[in-house]
Amino acid sequence: MKLIKPNDLMPTNKNEGISGLVLETGKSVLFHSKNKWKSIAKEFLPEDAESIICVPIVRSNEILGILLLSSTKKRAYEKSQLMIVDILCSHFAIAIENARHYEETKAKSERCALTKLYNYRYIEAKLNEEFSRLHNGSRDLLSLIILDIDHFKKVNDTYGHQSGNEILCELADRLTNLIDTAGIAARYGGEEFIVLMPDTSKEDAIGWAELIRQTIANRPFILKQTIDGRSSSTKVYITASIGVAAAPDDADDSLALIRHADRALYVGAKQAGRNRVAEYVK
């Protein structure tokens, strides 16, 4: 048995092979012996295959995939069995669609609609998962970076909330590109962002935090505006204050880790002048 998705077929001017025939016509096919299908088959099939059933998996007039069954026996399948497979594929199509909707809903529930970063709900669950690993010994280190844009209200008041949203999205892109696979970036809320860094020491996390600070402060954010049909660009420089805490040294649970990184942010960075990185100190 083989499940073929439409995207798995080679992009040609005309779909080829047994599965291509089914994809093109949307109808099931049944072959009783190899000499009936060998001249059109382009798929990988067992050398000793004889009988073949190929059925489209259709939902809402869209072909989601193709189910291909083969047997080493001639006349292994009859029309009655083809009808049964057709019915099974209709249930299969519903299951695929439900799974797709579930994944889409799950992704939306875990992502910030504006920046497309993970949201607090996701990062909270991820933190609990990482602390479980710390406690069972499968994880040794866990660092957390929290950053807050300095004087962001002034940006909104000066350029408007839409421009403020553009800055948030651009900052999210910079974070994603910089961190890559070294950590997980998320929007904590408002103008606050989190970077969760498994297996990263506090010292290394501070280094990452400094890179993030420089990535924000050293390159302007470009705001594009259209007024009375005329387009213009404005350079806006912003800075961020950043706090860093790490487990297990600074915290025994996820809430404590967030609280301590947040304290480092506001006491060690904001109150000390902003545009700086501070670590939590007990």
Could you tell me the maximum CA-CA distance found in the chain, to the nearest angstrom? Answer: 82
Look at residue 5 in the predicted model and tell me its pLDDT.
54
What does the pLDDT average to over 45-57?
90
Cα(60)–Cα(63) distance, integer angstroms? 8
Q: What is the CA radius of gyration of the chain?
A: 28
What does the pLDDT average to over 73-83?
91
| Strand ranges inside 150-215, DSSP E | 184-189, 192-198
Measured in residues, the chain has a length of 282
Residue bearing the bigger pLDDT, 241 or 26: 241
Model confidence at 12, pLDDT cuts 50, 70, 90, reads very low
Give 151-187 pLDDT, tens digit per residue: 999 999 999 999 999 999 999 999 999 999 999 999 9
Look at residue 74 in the predicted model and tell me its pLDDT.
93
Closest by CA to 205, choosing from 135, 257, 151, 270, is: 257
In the chain the domains, ranked by start, together with CATH numbers, are 2-109 (3.30.450.40), 120-279 (3.30.70.270)
What does the pLDDT average to over 15-44?
86
What does the pLDDT average to over 224-252?
88
What does the pLDDT average to over 96-121?
83
Look at residue 3 in the predicted model and tell me its pLDDT.
55
Cα(38)–Cα(25) distance, integer angstroms? 19
Lowest-pLDDT range, 13-22, 31-40, 130-139, 166-175? 13-22
Look at residue 265 in the predicted model and tell me its pLDDT.
97
Cα(82)–Cα(26) distance, integer angstroms? 14
Look at residue 245 in the predicted model and tell me its pLDDT.
98
With 80 as the cut, is the pLDDT of residue 280 above it? yes
Model confidence at 11, pLDDT cuts 50, 70, 90, reads very low
Is 170 catalytic? The answer is no
Residue bearing the bigger pLDDT, 96 or 31: 31
Model confidence at 9, pLDDT cuts 50, 70, 90, reads very low
Look at residue 94 in the predicted model and tell me its pLDDT.
84
Look at residue 262 in the predicted model and tell me its pLDDT.
96
> Of the listed 50, 166, 170, 191, which one is catalytic?
191
Look at residue 109 in the predicted model and tell me its pLDDT.
79
Would the pTM count as exceeding 0.85?
A: no
- β-pairing verdict for 51-59 and 277-279: unpaired
With 90 as the cut, is the pLDDT of residue 226 above it? no
